[in-house]
Amino acid sequence: MTTSPREKNAPRDVNEAAIIAAKSDIASGKNSKKVFIKTYGCQMNVYDSERMADVLSPIGYAPTDAPDHADLVILNTCHIREKAAEKVYSELGRIRKYKETNKPDMKVAVAGCVAQAEGAEIMSRAPVVDMVLGPQTYHKLPEMIAKVHRGTGQLLETEFDTLEKFDELPELRQPKGFSSFLTIQEGCDKFCTFCVVPYTRGAEVSRSVAHVVAEARQLAAHGVREITLIGQNVNAYNGLGEDGKEWTLGQLIRHVALIGGIDRIRFTTSHPRDMDDDLIETLGNEPKLMPYLHLPIQAGSNKVLHAMNRGHTYAEYKELIAKIRAARPDIALSGDFIVGFPGETETDFQQTMKCVEEIGYGSSFSFKYSVRPGTPGAGLPRQVPEDEKQDRLVRLQALLYQQQQDFNKSLIGQTLSVLVEGVGRKDDQLFGRSPYLQGTHFDGPKDLVGQIVNVKITDAGRNSLVGELA
Ligand code: SF4
């Protein structure tokens, strides 16, 4: 069954009754319900899962790592990768068995982008699912849970209203560590021809500066030292500023940098078209901004970039990188690459290899193109055979991985600031993140956890660094 479109004007008593009942359970020590949330995909989903846990806490749910005995299981899905929906269905098969064997009253929800794209189909193919909710509706979880418990049947909520979601989320956040994501923008208007995001997350919407600052202050008050401002197109940020005007991402970063306790700021994911001069200047001048930029190009051939609807050429990207490096010479770049987009020839692929050689990346994400139903790329002629895509990916990754290894090795002998996130596997070993995001291991006392310390790098692999306290 589907809920009526937008229940904005519906009485709120269901939600409030559920919260009041749960609060009284908590007060009487009955706060024993468990929620298992499985997160697929990007950092936007990681953030959303944390916020779902925040929404559920006041109604008595505590997170658990054990799905088999959970009262509520939520799959927070991602539609970016191939066969995303099939993976969700096989996970749902496992959950159905847990439910039948251990926990007949278990409730099951599918959230995220697969839910948005295939909500009705999920409900008809997987009767075990009680609730399907899109990325803009998870603030309605308590209300939906109350309805499911009242036997209303399967519920589908896939409306787009990003700002309503942010307005209705609980203010109190429960960050897990010393580094936290903070969503400042959602959705995308770019319509790259390979990507489902504009269809699953909707148009670009930015949160107001006041909301972002309030959440950042909350995080700082809970001990968070590093904030990563996230959005599908984070540098398209244009939220309402404190002066009543639209602020850019550069303005927002400089403002967030004033918050006491926040010592490191990052932002991701950026689009080359939205990399304005103000942001580049901020990269150069704001010491709290880490020298690491994820700026995907996807392909080096102008023909392929055009077919992907990226809206820029390779020469424009290269010029942009030169500007960024002039402003922040120590910056490390990260990129996304897709090989085998429809129509990509070996000559086009060689342009991607040339791009990687010329630009140089400290880290990267690379994939074979795969069809996303409903995107323009799916209908394009001249799909590249699978074995050619595989061959290109192997060659590209050999180059990218070598660059990553070389970059990490170039840091040996340098002293880097490391945010200590926890203890390592060995006695007295600590683990943290460098300014360039590599995991860094070194020996030190446990009371350094949560501190930012200087570490002299003594060894480096492709994915991590080793050092000693400086
Ligand atoms: S910029 Fe392109 S790849 Fe990125 S979210 Fe938007 S449509 Fe997808």
Evaluate if residue 455 carries a pLDDT over 90. Answer: yes
Instruction: Average the pLDDT over 363-385 and give the result.
Output: 88
Instruction: Average the pLDDT over 441-461 and give the result.
Output: 96
- What is the sign of the dihedral through the CA atoms of 178, 184, 186 and 190? negative
Query: Among 194, 239, 197, which residue's Cα sits nearest to residue 214?
Result: 239
Strands 363-368 and 332-339: parallel
Q: Is 232 in the pocket of ligand 1 (CB under 6 A)?
A: yes
Q: Whose CA is nearest to atom 1 of ligand 1?
A: 190
Q: Is 80 in the pocket of ligand 1 (CB under 6 A)?
A: no
Q: Whose CA is nearest to atom 8 of ligand 1?
A: 195
Q: What is the CATH number of domain 415-469?
A: 2.40.50.140
Q: What is the pLDDT of residues 382-404, one digit of tens each?
A: 889 999 999 999 999 999 999 99
Q: What is the pLDDT of residues 432-445, one digit of tens each?
A: 999 999 999 999 99
Q: What is the pLDDT of residues 54-69, one digit of tens each?
A: 888 888 898 898 888 8
Task: Enter the tokens of residue 146.
Answer: 């109350």
- Closest atom of ligand 1 relative to the 201 alpha carbon: 5
Q: Is 197 in the pocket of ligand 1 (CB under 6 A)?
A: yes
* pLDDT score for 14: 38
Q: What is the mean pLDDT of the chain?
A: 88
Instruction: Average the pLDDT over 228-232 and give the result.
Output: 95
Evaluate if residue 184 carries a pLDDT over 90. Answer: yes
Evaluate if residue 158 carries a pLDDT over 70. Answer: no
Name residues whose C-beta falls within 8 Å of residue 60's C-beta, 6 or more positions apart in sequence. Answer: 22, 23, 25, 26, 30, 31, 32, 33
Question: In the chain, what percentage of residues exceed pLDDT 90?
Answer: 62
Confidence of residue 239 (pLDDT cuts 50, 70, 90): very high
Instruction: Average the pLDDT over 154-164 and give the result.
Output: 67
Separation between Cα atoms, residue 291 and residue 287, nearest integer Å: 9
* pLDDT score for 313: 98
- Closest atom of ligand 1 relative to the 195 alpha carbon: 8
Confidence of residue 152 (pLDDT cuts 50, 70, 90): low
Confidence of residue 4 (pLDDT cuts 50, 70, 90): very low
- Closest atom of ligand 1 relative to the 309 alpha carbon: 2
Q: Is 419 in the pocket of ligand 1 (CB under 6 A)?
A: no
Is the domain covering 13-161 a CATH 3.40.50.12160 domain? yes
Least confident of 3-17, 112-126, 309-323, 423-437: 3-17
Least confident of 200-204, 230-234, 364-368: 200-204
Ligand 1 centre and the CA of 335: distance in Å? 13
Confidence of residue 256 (pLDDT cuts 50, 70, 90): very high
Q: Is 299 in the pocket of ligand 1 (CB under 6 A)?
A: no
Ligand 1 centre and the CA of 186: distance in Å? 11
The Cα-based distances of 374 to 44, 85, 189, 191, 200 in angstroms read: 22, 14, 16, 12, 11
Q: What are the boundaries of each domain within the chain? A: 13-161, 415-469
Confidence of residue 81 (pLDDT cuts 50, 70, 90): low
Q: What is the pLDDT of residues 283-307, one digit of tens each?
A: 999 999 999 999 999 999 999 999 9
* pLDDT score for 141: 85
Ligand 1 centre and the CA of 326: distance in Å? 27
Ligand 1 centre and the CA of 181: distance in Å? 19
Q: Is 270 in the pocket of ligand 1 (CB under 6 A)?
A: no
* pLDDT score for 427: 82
3-state SS assignment for residue 185: strand
**Dihedral angle at the C-alpha atoms of 75, 79, 84, 87, nearest 10 degrees?**
0
* pLDDT score for 23: 46
Mutate to test the pocket of ligand 1, among 44, 78, 192 (most ligand atoms within 8 A of CB): 192
Q: Is 365 in the pocket of ligand 1 (CB under 6 A)?
A: no
Confidence of residue 135 (pLDDT cuts 50, 70, 90): confident
Ligand 1 centre and the CA of 185: distance in Å? 13
Ligand 1 centre and the CA of 200: distance in Å? 11
Confidence of residue 163 (pLDDT cuts 50, 70, 90): low
Q: Is 195 in the pocket of ligand 1 (CB under 6 A)?
A: yes
- The count of other CB atoms within 10 Å of the CB of residue 347 is 9
Mutate to test the pocket of ligand 1, among 191, 274, 308 (most ligand atoms within 8 A of CB): 191
Name residues whose C-beta falls within 8 Å of residue 404's C-beta, 6 or more positions apart in sequence. Answer: 361, 362, 363, 364, 462, 463
Q: What is the pLDDT of residues 92-130, one digit of tens each?
A: 999 999 998 888 899 999 998 888 888 788 888 888 999
Task: Tell me if 13-161 shares its fold with 415-469.
Answer: no
* pLDDT score for 79: 79
Confidence of residue 82 (pLDDT cuts 50, 70, 90): low
